Amino acid sequence: MMAKPDAQATAKTQARYDRSAPIYDLMEGLMERSARKWRRLLWAQVEGERVLEVGVGTGKNMPYYPARARVTAIDLSVNMFQRARRWVEREKVEVELRQMDAQALNFPDQSFDTVVASFVFCSVPDPLLGMEELGRVTKSGGKILLLEHMRPENPWLGSLFDLFNPLVVRLFGFNINRRTLANIERAGLKIERVQNMDKMGIVKLIVAKPLTHSCQ
């Protein structure tokens, strides 16, 4: 039987992002200067017609949606979701928006050709459960594209991130020491390529795919 999300942890995460939604873009302003080119590179690798964005946030990825794709975008936070909706209405973006938890995707198995997430799995309460869901809804032969920041590989710097992580989680709601590459493999996904986006290897672009789906 598949594990279920921790309701209390999920509610806490949702509340944090609901609170931060009005100033979220301002908080990430400095990082976003670099992130724009990373997002463009991420979305350039999308294949197929049916695409899912997990964690749409305020809509930062929308300018890079492929014109040919039918994109469905989800987010857990009500307030973040509302800001993304305003972006859609203002910029006339073709996308289906649905409020949903990445740990419990309300889609049938093998629904999407490509699943995309950027800076999401630092805050998903149960990242393994979320990764398993990505694999479940991706078609056999499909792609999972992740742009994530994670614990540095440098031992000294990694220990420093471990030390400060509880404070960062309390203030901002996301983890800075997630071992995301290991989590991807533990969730049963196959990593095909990893590209460092910064000199320290903290931000990585990851191309993965689901293992062969069992017969239904």
| Beta-ladder partners of 71 | 51
Q: Which helix (H) or strand (E) holds 209?
A: strand 203-210
* pLDDT per position as a tens digit, 38-54: 999 999 999 999 999 99
Give the pLDDT score at 18.
87
Q: Which residue has the higher pLDDT, 21 or 61?
A: 61
Global pTM reads 0.92
Buried b (16+ CB within 10 A) or exposed e, 156-165: eebeebeeeb
Mean pLDDT rounded to a whole number for the chain: 91
CB atoms near residue 115 (< 10 Å): 29
Place of tokens 């309460």: 125
Distance, in Å, from the CA atom of 208 to the CA atom of 185, rounded to the nearest integer, reads: 9
What does CATH list as the number for 7-210? 3.40.50.150
Distance, in Å, from the CA atom of 64 to the CA atom of 33, rounded to the nearest integer, reads: 15
CA distances from 141 to 70, 104, 119, 211 (A): 18, 22, 24, 9
The answer to whether the CB of 22 falls within 8 A of the CB of 85 is no
**Domain ranges (residues) in the chain:** 7-210
The answer to whether the CB of 138 falls within 8 A of the CB of 188 is no
Contacts of 153 (CB under 8 A, 6+ apart): 201
* pLDDT per position as a tens digit, 144-182: 999 999 999 999 999 999 999 999 988 888 899 999 999
Confidence of residue 216 (pLDDT cuts 50, 70, 90): very low
